[in-house]
Structure 1
């Protein structure tokens, strides 16, 4: 288990990634899917730099 705010590191070293916001689990998916086709708009907003 690795906890990081560095999206490049997470994408490089993980098999699965969880996105948590304010203590709530928003999304947990295989890393390639989470970074290319996130299912929640909050996840997409974070990984594209619109907030965070």
Structure 2
């Protein structure tokens, strides 16, 4: 555990906010790519059944 000085709190809070935004952005990007992959696989399987 780390105890912050009052003058350090804002800087750390901003860093945590940037980290969380980056994680959320990456998760959203990964979800889009996964959705595209699922759509391609489904389309391929649907065309194979014809």
Common topology (TM > 0.5): no
Structure that is richer in strand per residue:
1
Instruction: State the TM-score, normalized to the length of structure 2.
Output: 0.22
- Larger Rg, first or second structure (1 or 2): 2
Structure that is richer in helix per residue:
2
Higher relative contact order (CA 8 A, sep 6+): 1
Instruction: State the TM-score, normalized to the length of structure 1.
Output: 0.21
